[in-house]
Amino acid sequence: MNKRSVQVTGGGTYFVTLPKAWATGVGIHRGSEVMVVENETGSLLLMPEGLKMENSVRLSLEGKDAVWIQRAIISCYVTGFDVIEVDGTRISAGQRRAVRQVAQSLVGLEIMDESQDSIVLHCLVSMRDFAAEATLRRIYAITQAMLSDAVSAFLSRDATLANDVVERDIEADRLTRVMSRELGLLLRDLLLEKEIGMSRILFHEYHGVAKILERIGDHAVQISRAVAGLREPIDADTISRIERLKENAEKIVLQSVDAFLKADLEAASSALSERENTHKWEEEAQLQNVGRNALSLAVIFGSLLRVRDYAFNIAEAALNMGVPHLQS
């Protein structure tokens, strides 16, 4: 860290000197222009004219399997890289297949060039195309529909509907990764705050809620997969208890998400007050006379209780929206 004393000219202009090593390294010379951007925290960002951010990365595929390839590309994508080049000596068919599959699972990632020993992917998605609020609303709509259909599939033992819920999970994952990527870009480039009209702090809150909703979608998938474990019809009392718990969980999620989007602290507090009833719902979820359906019923009751917990996490995030200057 370098410290510089603030000096004042005869005309009353404040100025500081720049570290010589830094100025030389970024090509600043006499007469150079720099952009000064004021951050909402009160700090200043100094941006030399013509400074380009390196936004590409190269990955070696030598000795790497499909799982490693997909995880590495996803990591580069959410970190915010625009160009991802993977290379290796004669990339195998399996490695190419892994690259194509992960590209298809990520919004805006396209293969732009390909040869025997190299594949170049470009991310064409823009932050302006996926505004935080609209994207969050879409993730909420997807995951809540998944949860509702998962419970319906479970109670009716509908394997077709259950499989459909599992397949829909990829869309929630895709949108959540878009928000993860946008957060990565904001952390790397402060100028994007001005471009999208949202601070990194506020976007971080939206991203956190998106991740919570994604987990709710994951529980919808667990419930759907538990359909295959049902060995006999579910008794009426158990069906009634599942429906009541599901309605309560959905109600709190809706109230919490709405409170977050509206920065409604009173609604957030109201949602959190439901936490006092958690013990009652845990007792309601106790397995009784379940027979051969025990494992599957444990999954659905456990998942619905977890969804309630996630709803409270969203309500807590809604309370954060009351922090001064967060909405400015």
Name the residue range of residue 109's domain: 56-123
pLDDT of residue 80: 87
pTM for the complete prediction? 0.83
**Radius of gyration of the CA atoms of the chain, in A:** 25
* In contact, 145 and 133? CB cutoff 8 Å: no
* Whether residue 74 sits in one domain with residue 189: no
* Whether residue 300 sits in one domain with residue 274: yes
pLDDT of residue 256: 97
281 found inside a domain: yes
pLDDT of residue 33: 77
Q: Which helix (H) or strand (E) holds 34?
A: strand 34-38
* Whether residue 134 sits in one domain with residue 97: no
Non-local (6+) Cβ contacts of 256 within 8 A are 268, 271, 311, 312, 314, 315, 318
Q: How would DSSP label each residue in 40-66?
A: TTS-EEEEETT-----EEEEE-TT--H
Residue 325 scores a pLDDT above 60: no
* Whether residue 181 sits in one domain with residue 313: yes
Last-in-domain residue among 78, 94, 123: 123
What digits encode the pLDDT tens for the residues 63-108?
899 999 999 999 999 988 889 999 988 899 999 999 999 999 999 9
The whole-angstrom separation of Cα 211 and Cα 230 is: 30
Structural tokens at position 141: 């709509």
Residue 323 scores a pLDDT above 70: no
What digits encode the pLDDT tens for the residues 193-226?
777 878 888 999 999 999 999 999 999 999 999 9
Mean pLDDT over 154-160 rounds to: 96
Non-local (6+) Cβ contacts of 247 within 8 A are none
What is the number of other CB atoms lying within 10 angstroms of the CB of residue 68? 14
190 SS3 class: coil
Structural tokens at position 66: 């499909």
Q: Which of 41-45, 123-127, 262-266, 285-289 has the lowest mean pLDDT?
A: 41-45
pLDDT of residue 28: 79
pLDDT band at 4 (very low <50, low <70, confident <90, very high): confident
Last-in-domain residue among 123, 142, 166: 123
Structural tokens at position 85: 């080049």
The whole-angstrom separation of Cα 141 and Cα 144 is: 5
- Nearest-CA neighbor of 303 among 142, 147, 145, 146? 147
* In contact, 114 and 120? CB cutoff 8 Å: yes
Mean pLDDT over 112-136 rounds to: 89
pLDDT of residue 37: 67
Contacts of range 59-66, beta carbons closer than 8 Å, 24 or more positions apart: 59/84, 59/85, 59/86, 59/87, 60/86, 60/87, 60/88, 61/86, 61/87, 61/88, 61/91, 61/95, 62/88, 62/89, 64/88, 64/95, 65/98, 66/94, 66/95, 66/97, 66/98, 66/101
Kindly report the CATH number assigned to the domain that includes residue 253. 1.20.58.220
Kindly report the CATH number assigned to the domain that includes residue 85. 3.30.110
175 found inside a domain: yes
270 found inside a domain: yes
328 found inside a domain: no
Percentage helix, strand, coil for the chain under 3-state DSSP, each rounded to 5: 60, 10, 25
Give bridge partners of residue 7 from the DSSP assignment: 15
pLDDT of residue 55: 80
Average pLDDT, the chain: 89
Residue 326 scores a pLDDT above 90: no
